[in-house]
């Protein structure tokens, strides 16, 4: 596609205050914007006459892109383009296309900034829709682990599993709705998890060794 490459822009944690200037420029210069329903709603104020395509079935999206390669296309993805991102699918399915990738701030980068902590000695992983041996990861880490979680693998269930396996000296830090006005950051000693039982949806959970 030469200079008409497809852009992939990381939206960041959600609030438009945290999208990069390069990301905004790519969005505003595009003719077609592709993203999930929530992502398209988030960037609505940045859009003018661009065509919007809401992500659904990936095969249909692929056909749509191939039919519109003569136009400037930008994909909007949550968080960091390099971490469990749609970019992997795009690279595997559009091998002859050049991508201009503009990363966003990841949710765990944002959370650590709010905590005024650095995360070089924490290892990031995901249990969002997948299984992962976070016990082994926690035992082998220096300071702890970062987990992208979901409603099933949530902070309370993770706390129960860790305690059942004899792991006690851990602080659990949960970031929800990060960067929005109603963001919530909760911290508790893993032994006190019963006092924090409630519904947890998608969030970032830090397991910090203490």
Question: What are the sequence ranges of the domains in the chain?
Answer: 6-105, 108-209
DSSP string for 110-150: HHHHHHT---TTEEEEE-SSS---HHHHHHH-SSEEEEEE-
Does the domain at residues 6-105 carry the CATH identifier 3.40.1010.10?
A: yes
pTM: 0.88
pLDDT digits (tens, 9 = 90+) for 131-188: 999 999 999 999 999 999 999 999 999 999 999 999 999 999 999 999 999 999 999 9
8 A C-beta contact, residue 145 and residue 123? yes
Output b/e per residue, 92-109; b: 16+ Cβ within 10 A: eebeebebebbbbbbbbb
- Residues 43/2, Cβ–Cβ less than 8 Å: no
How does pLDDT run along the chain (210 residues), one tens digit per residue? Answer: 445 689 999 999 988 999 999 999 999 999 999 999 989 999 999 999 999 999 999 999 999 999 999 999 999 998 889 988 899 999 999 998 999 999 999 999 999 999 999 999 999 999 998 999 999 999 999 999 999 999 999 999 999 999 999 999 999 999 999 999 999 999 999 999 999 999 998 899 999 999
CB 202 within 8 A of CB 111: no
CATH of domain 108-209: 3.30.950.10
């Amino acid at each position: 596609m030469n200079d008409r490459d497809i852009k992939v822009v990381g939206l960041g944690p959600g609030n438009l205050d945290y999208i990069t200037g390069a990301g905004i420029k790519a969005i505003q210069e595009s003719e077609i914007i592709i993203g999930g329903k929530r992502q398209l709603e988030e960037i609505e104020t940045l859009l003018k006459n661009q065509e919007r395509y809401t992500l659904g079935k990936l095969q249909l999206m692929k056909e749509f892109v191939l039919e519109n390669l003569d136009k400037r296309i930008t994909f909007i993805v949550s968080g960091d383009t390099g971490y469990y991102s749609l970019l992997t699918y795009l690279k595997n399915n559009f091998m002859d296309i050049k991508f201009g990738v503009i990363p966003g701030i990841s949710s765990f980068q944002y959370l650590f900034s709010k905590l005024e902590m650095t995360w070089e000695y924490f290892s990031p992983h995901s249990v969002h829709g997948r299984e992962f041996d976070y016990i082994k990861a926690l035992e082998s880490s220096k300071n702890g682990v970062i987990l992208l979680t979901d409603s099933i693998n949530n902070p309370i269930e993770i706390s129960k599993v860790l305690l059942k396996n004899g792991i006690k000296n851990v602080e659990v830090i949960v970031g929800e709705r990060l960067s929005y006005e109603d963001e919530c950051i909760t911290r508790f000693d893993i032994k006190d998890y019963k006092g924090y039982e409630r519904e947890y949806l998608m969030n970032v959970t830090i397991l910090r060794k203490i």
